[in-house]
Amino acid sequence: MSRLQGPLARPPFRRLTMAWFTTNIADSALYLMLAVWVKDLTDNDAAAALVFVFLGLPAFIAPFTGKLADSMSRRLLMLITNFGVAIAVLALLFVQSGSDVWIIYAITLVYGTAQYLIGASQAGLLRDMLPDEELASANGLFTTIDQGLRILAPLIGTALYVAFGPEAVVILTTACFGIAGVFMLTVRLQESAAQPGTQEFGGMWTGFRMLFGNAQLRMVTIAIGVGFGITGLLNIMVFPLIEQGLGLPAAALGPIQTVQGLGAVIGGVTAALVIRRIGEYRVVALGLGLLTACTAAATAVVLFMTAGTVAAIGVAGVAWFIGGTGIAWTVVGASTFRIRLIPSHAQGRAAAAMNMSINLPQTVVMILGAGLILSLDFRILLIACAVVLLASVVSMRPWRRAVAKDAELGEVSVPVDETVE
């Protein structure tokens, strides 16, 4: 008998986890390298930034990717997607000069779309693989892997890029996605059947209707959409914050991301325990509260402390660690809550809808923030971030006694458009 406990005691979940592990190695090593590559080819900051724009564009077709995940075998879709990306990224080997950057943009778009397909499919597979009481542990493990590799894999990708060129990172990415596809070939489980009408176009927006049709899921979706959305401003002003606010060189972003990643790893490891004590809804609110505290502390550092001092850098480091933990708790709490309450046959659309609700506002805020940072002091924008984050926590009213009943909630009912027309 296996000594493993919880979801890892189940062979299908172990194999899905290995597929997730290998794709995350590729993800963390590739996406930063692509921007650096474009920068080296063109010596143009705007051209390099477009990589992140193309990475975010698939958010607009999230309802379609979620619909696709609910209309066919999720395992088969993940298998096709992994092998497809493994082949597609080989096109990057044809990039030779600045005139070829369109190939990088095209592959980035394909890669971004694949992430939505994998996310939507994975949510449905988890619903079919695991009982409710193991969902938090599974999501916590996935978050731990994701954040842990974000600490290590970019270093691996950078080392390969510097030592052997971008081709080495391309080969690593192809190998990782190919291995993930092989792991998916070994996954054996009984998947839930698609419901009548799932193949019809009319149910594409069912995911949003299910999220917003339940009071607590609606509140969670809105709160994290607003809270994570406003952090797009933090992404825009990260260099003014580091250079002007902390008195550090831009290269300090690397250590800062490492500290935040460590906090997120701790958050992923502890999320299931916290969820068992206070429930998913309150964990989302607590996670957003920690992110609020992180932003407020960073604001206090730049407003009231002397840049470059050990005290200022120390407070900022603790703030980023807390923020990483808060992000992990928010993500694990929200995804577990969604997977537990949404019926299996709608998991793909619900996952895509929630991802779109998070990523699209953040992308829009980043675009707007790029203009605001030119005319407003970054300290003003930092204060605005802290205020909006605090508002997102308060709007959830996690102190209400009724919130404790979230553990008793059953599945959300399916909207009436889920019928054959």
pLDDT digits (tens, 9 = 90+) for 146-162: 878 777 766 777 778 88
Residue 406 has pLDDT above 60, yes or no: no
Residue 285: predicted pLDDT? 96
Residue 248: predicted pLDDT? 83
Task: Report CA torsion sign: 183, 185, 187, 192.
Answer: positive
Residue 195: predicted pLDDT? 58
Residue 416: predicted pLDDT? 40
Residue 255: predicted pLDDT? 78
pLDDT digits (tens, 9 = 90+) for 274-299: 999 999 999 999 999 999 999 999 99
Highest mean pLDDT of the ranges 1-15, 222-236, 245-259:
222-236
What does the alpha-carbon distance between residue 344 and residue 125 come to, in Å, rounded to a whole number? 8
What does the alpha-carbon distance between residue 221 and residue 229 come to, in Å, rounded to a whole number? 11
Superfamily of chain region 199-400+417-421: MFS general substrate transporter like domains (1.20.1250.20)
Residue 417 has pLDDT above 60, yes or no: no
Residue 181: predicted pLDDT? 93
What does the alpha-carbon distance between residue 45 and residue 43 come to, in Å, rounded to a whole number? 7
Residue 407 has pLDDT above 50, yes or no: no
- For residue 101, count other CB atoms closer than 10 A to its CB: 20
Q: Could you please state the CATH topology (level 3) that the domain comprising 1-192 is classified under.
A: Growth Hormone; Chain: A; (1.20.1250)
Q: How confident is the model at residue 351 (pLDDT cuts 50, 70, 90)?
A: confident
Q: How far is CA 299 from CA 166, 256, 385, 386, 408, in A?
A: 38, 16, 9, 8, 39
Q: What is the pTM of this model?
A: 0.80
Residue 323 has pLDDT above 60, yes or no: yes
Domain ranges of the chain: 1-192, 199-400+417-421
Residue 414: predicted pLDDT? 45
pLDDT digits (tens, 9 = 90+) for 255-270: 787 888 899 999 999 9
What percent of the chain is predicted at pLDDT more than 70?
Answer: 90
pLDDT digits (tens, 9 = 90+) for 163-217: 888 899 899 999 999 999 999 999 888 887 765 554 443 456 778 888 888 888 9
Q: How confident is the model at residue 327 (pLDDT cuts 50, 70, 90)?
A: very high
What does the alpha-carbon distance between residue 176 and residue 366 come to, in Å, rounded to a whole number? 30
Give phi and psi for 244, each to the nearest 5. Answer: -85, -40
